[in-house]
């Protein structure tokens, strides 16, 4: 395992500085965010990080791969396309990315910049509060433009969030990433988005509402 191929190292023996030597470069942690829910092709990473630019994104991927955070592999036929995914060590950044997101959500001035599909889904997962006192079980399909995601809740706990369509969802939620981002954690925002036609719930509407009721900003943030 090597540190990132950059001259901008901290030269500090602290473990925090050492971690930033690996993922402290601009866009590096956002590349990690885009891979938390599964592998992606380069073009899909570009779609999720349009501000990075292809050259910068390619450089970050090379650095993260050299550092052992990301790896490349080829999907089996018929896809046979090359994808990037987190290594086992890289996947341990999940908690770091979530903690940063929760910390950022407490900022005095929130960003109004566009939000990507994976970013909105990670926010939903981060804000989910288990409901063991009022348990329910349901499978959800989330449609954000051309992207599809699966959420499974079991006994009031979020047990799965992954990329792709479930076979038999109880509820289908269709919206855009920006609307989902605004609805998550905001009281009354779901009803408004549904009324304005920016979000639709198909199937078990009660299960859909219970999902959003469980998604709120933790008081510790």
The model's pTM is: 0.87
CA-CA distance, 91 to 166, in Å (whole number)? Answer: 23
For residue 144, the cross-strand partners are 147, 175
Q: Show Cβ contacts of residue 121 under 8 Å, excluding neighbours closer than 6 positions.
A: 37, 142, 144, 149, 161, 180
Sign of the torsion formed by the C-alpha atoms of 97, 145, 72 and 24: negative
Strand residues in 41-81 grouped as ranges (E): 70-74
pLDDT means per 10 residues in the chain (221 residues)?
Answer: 58 89 92 96 94 94 95 86 95 95 80 89 93 92 96 95 94 96 88 95 94 77 48
- What are φ and ψ of residue 157, in 5° steps? -120, 140
pLDDT at residue number 187: 78
Residue 30: half-sphere exposure toward Cβ, Cα within 13 Å:
19
Q: What is the pLDDT of residue 106?
A: 80
Give the separation between CA 35 and CA 40, rounded to whole angstroms. Answer: 7
Q: Give the span between the Cα atoms of 109 and 7, in whole angstroms.
A: 33
Q: What is the pLDDT of residue 80?
A: 76
Task: Output DSSP code: residue 76.
Answer: P
Residues 66 and 25 sit within 8 Å (Cβ to Cβ):
no
pLDDT on residue 6: 52
**Are 87 and 72 in contact, with CB atoms under 8 Å apart?**
no
The helix, strand and coil proportions of the chain, stated in percent and rounded to the nearest 5, come to 40, 20, 40
**What domains does the chain contain, in order, with CATH numbers?**
15-92 (1.10.10.10), 117-213 (3.30.1050.10)
């Amino acid at each position: 395992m090597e540190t990132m191929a950059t001259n901008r190292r901290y030269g500090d023996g602290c473990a925090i500085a050492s971690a930033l030597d690996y993922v402290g470069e601009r866009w590096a942690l956002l590349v990690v965010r885009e891979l938390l829910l599964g592998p992606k092709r380069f073009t899909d990473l570009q779609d999720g990080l349009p501000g990075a630019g292809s050259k910068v994104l390619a450089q970050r991927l090379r650095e993260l791969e050299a550092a052992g955070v990301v790896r490349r592999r080829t999907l089996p036929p018929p896809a046979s396309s090359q994808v990037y995914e987190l290594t086992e060590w890289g996947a341990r950044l999940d908690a770091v990315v979530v903690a940063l997101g929760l910390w950022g959500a407490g900022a005095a001035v929130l960003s109004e910049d566009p939000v990507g599909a994976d970013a909105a889904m990670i926010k939903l997962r981060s804000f989910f509060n288990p409901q063991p006192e009022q348990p329910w079980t349901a499978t959800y399909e989330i449609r954000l433009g051309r992207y599809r995601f699966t959420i499974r809740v079991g006994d009031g706990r979020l047990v799965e969030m992954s990329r792709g369509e479930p076979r038999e969802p109880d509820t289908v939620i269709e919206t855009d990433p920006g609307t989902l981002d605004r609805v998550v954690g905001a009281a009354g925002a779901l009803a408004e988005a549904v009324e304005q036609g920016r979000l639709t719930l198909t199937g078990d509407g009660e299960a859909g509402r219970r999902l959003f009721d469980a998604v709120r900003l933790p008081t510790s943030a």
